[in-house]
């Protein structure tokens, strides 16, 4: 479903005066747009460049327990992110001469949004090669898709976080905690777009759960 923008300044005024809205304590790292940050046990996890297959990839090595993904976003950003056990889309984009054309052919944004609960109630990521998480800040009648939302009023942006405690396998319809999952390697394609679903930026990486 396409989101409709409206007077964002008026919405922010309502948002920050709502009783339930709070400024969440955040990591101290300086976040930038069109990037992604993973924290575990309160520490920033730095990706490592490693050879996997025929190319070097950015790999996050995580313990088999909950972690948090952070973004710096504004009202014009959508995050389309795919987590998969297979590397098909990941490898296609690694070799693509046109990222947007490859995405449109392989797994277009439109109509492929996964049905997930508002505000990350399940603290989960979907593992599938058939659709996208579509993450965004709170917009009008649409609640945020993040469980951590902190509006930085001075510079008019959001720091948003997704706590990940569980993995939902969309192929088997099973929700499993990270501690009990048998999934070891996850291929991640993360795309930033505007509200016309036009690709603005892209980054791809691998998550490996170490014992």
Domain assignment present for 118: yes
Domain assignment present for 22: no
pTM for the predicted model, two decimal places: 0.86
Q: pLDDT of 56-83, one tens digit each?
A: 899 999 999 999 999 999 999 999 999 9
Q: pLDDT of 183-195, one tens digit each?
A: 999 999 999 999 9
Count of domains forming the chain? 1
* Pairing relationship of beta strands 124-127 and 166-169 according to DSSP bridges: parallel
DSSP designation for 108: -
Among 33, 194, 202, smallest CA distance to 103 is for 202
Cα-only R_g, the chain: 17
Domain assignment present for 58: yes
Domain assignment present for 15: no
For residue 67, the enclosing domain spans: 31-210
Domain assignment present for 164: yes
Domain assignment present for 137: yes
The alpha carbon dihedral of 198, 35, 132, 146 has a sign of negative
């Amino acid at each position: 479903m396409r989101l409709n923008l409206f007077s964002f300044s008026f919405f922010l005024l309502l948002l920050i005066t709502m009783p339930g809205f709070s400024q969440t304590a955040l990591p101290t790292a300086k976040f930038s747009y069109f990037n992604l940050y993973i924290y575990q046990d309160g520490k920033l996890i730095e990706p490592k460049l490693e050879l996997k297959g025929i190319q070097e990839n950015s790999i996050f090595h995580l313990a088999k327990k909950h972690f948090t993904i952070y973004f710096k976003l504004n009202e014009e950003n959508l995050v389309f992110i795919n987590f998969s056990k297979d590397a098909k889309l990941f490898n296609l984009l690694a070799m693509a001469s046109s990222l947007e054309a490859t995405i449109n052919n392989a797994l277009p944004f439109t109509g492929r949004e996964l049905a997930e609960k508002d505000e990350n109630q399940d603290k989960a990521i979907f593992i599938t090669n058939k659709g996208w998480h579509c993450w965004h800040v709170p917009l009008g009648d649409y609640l945020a898709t993040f469980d951590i939302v902190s509006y930085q009023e001075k510079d008019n942006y959001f720091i948003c976080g997704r706590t990940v405690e569980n993995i939902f396998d969309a192929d088997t319809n099973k929700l499993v905690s990270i501690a009990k999952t048998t999934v070891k390697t996850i291929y991640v394609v993360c795309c930033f777009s505007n509200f016309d679903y036009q690709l603005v930026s892209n980054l791809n990486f691998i998550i490996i759960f170490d014992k």
